[in-house]
Homo-oligomer: A and B are copies of this chain.
């Protein structure tokens, strides 16, 4: 009887645990779900006879070693900073490890030891990173296997809300993932390659240099650049490619309004504001505007940002309650922390609301004299605020990879990410049977 240990039972582990429990019934696995909050683990196991919920403290070394020693495969859904402690225990007791997090230098350093012990340490096997790797690399390999050379690769993913005409939310957006990451998105330096030239965008222009993307059947989206496009040169072996661009999708109009926060300095995280205790939403916005006793905060903001006072950006600000004399409700904080706290009041997803994941790739290659383009898109909808598209697309690839590993269908060992056929073919196939499929179209553009 295979024993699978899942560390962390938060929202993003919902679909993973459900999938594993479901498979456990067929294959006779035993699933142990470990969380700091026992109740959370019990809620996910739902009394399934193949499951067991335990209270677990990652910082308790003895407990960490005991529960990992008892497992055959470990899946860590913990915050990425805990993965190395888990990985070291996995080495010590010779256990496979799977995560949905980016490989960092600490994880990479364990590659040799994992290989020597015949262990797979599979990372970046969720949505983004995860499904993006698999779906993109599959097309890239297909183009190359035909002898063609890839000229351009662009890839965008967004965690959004399903379109809902009854909702009056002009942002068409709520937090469906870590709110702090949304507020901090894009800080740092953005680099990419466009027609063979390195290009740089500073943070304060990121949300102004968007691309419009159309996905048949789903309409238009705005994409802004991610920081890390150049990392993919090596990972996908794209050296020499003419265009390489990775980005994030939002619904049209989002970026121009979000840019107001960036321009104000309201997403800065490097200093604590004065007098947060007692500050109102209106005072928060006013602290970034010039003093003028005769003008309203609304007019000062519109003038400073060159916005129509009744235009769509100002409407989005009003809808968030930013001009109201409502107390922020924090004792202290950086601008980014105050903004996140205010946004949560309106951007927390309701129990019946459904999220949507949108992923879109573009591949450009030369076939003789012709320039051909492959466009590939996946759109996945959540069921409600618990069974989200985000949880499904993060968790299911990990669940499927675990099954393949236990069934002996994965030969790779050491620190891996799912960019080879033995990963992407079976995982994408099973995802398709579960309703997650990419629609591809190929066109001659030139």
A residues at B contact (CB < 8 Å): 188-189, 191, 194-195, 197-205, 209, 263-265, 268, 270-271, 273-275, 286-291, 293, 335
Contacts and interface: CB of A to CB of B under 8 A. Distances in A.
B191 A264 contact: no
A205 B304 CA distance: 10
List of 8 A-B pairs having minimum Cβ-Cβ separation, nearest first: A202-B265, A204-B204, A194-B291, A198-B274, A189-B271, A195-B291, A200-B265, A200-B288
A227 B209 CA distance: 28
Contacts of A335: 200
Contact of A205 (B194, B209, B265, B293): B265
A287 B202 contact: no
B205 A263 contact: yes
A263 B204 contact: yes
Contacts of A203: 204
B194 A290 contact: yes
Nearest to A275: B198
Contacts of A202: 204, 263-265, 268, 288
A375 B22 CA distance: 79
How many copies of this chain does one complex carry?
A: 2
A137 to B, nearest CB: 24
A197 B287 contact: yes
Contacts of A274: 191, 198
Contacts of A195: 291, 293
A197 B204 CA distance: 25
Contacts of A188: 270
B204 A287 contact: no
Given A189-B270, A202-B204, A204-B204, A197 B265 contact: no
A189 B286 contact: no
A209 to B, nearest CB: 7
A250 to B, nearest CB: 19
A199 B285 CA distance: 10
Contact of A288 (B199, B270, B275): B199
Contact of A197 (B189, B199, B205, B291): B291
10 contacts: A189-B270, A195-B293, A197-B291, A198-B287, A200-B265, A200-B335, A202-B268, A204-B204, A205-B265, A209-B290
Contacts of A273: 198, 200
Nearest to A306: B306
Contacts of A197: 286-287, 291
Contacts of A289: 199
Contacts of A265: 189, 200-202, 205
A268 B189 contact: yes
Contacts of A189: 265, 268, 270-271
Contacts of A205: 263, 265
A188 B268 CA distance: 10
A197 B300 CA distance: 15
Nearest to A335: B200
Nearest to A190: B265
Contact of A200 (B198, B201, B204, B287): B287
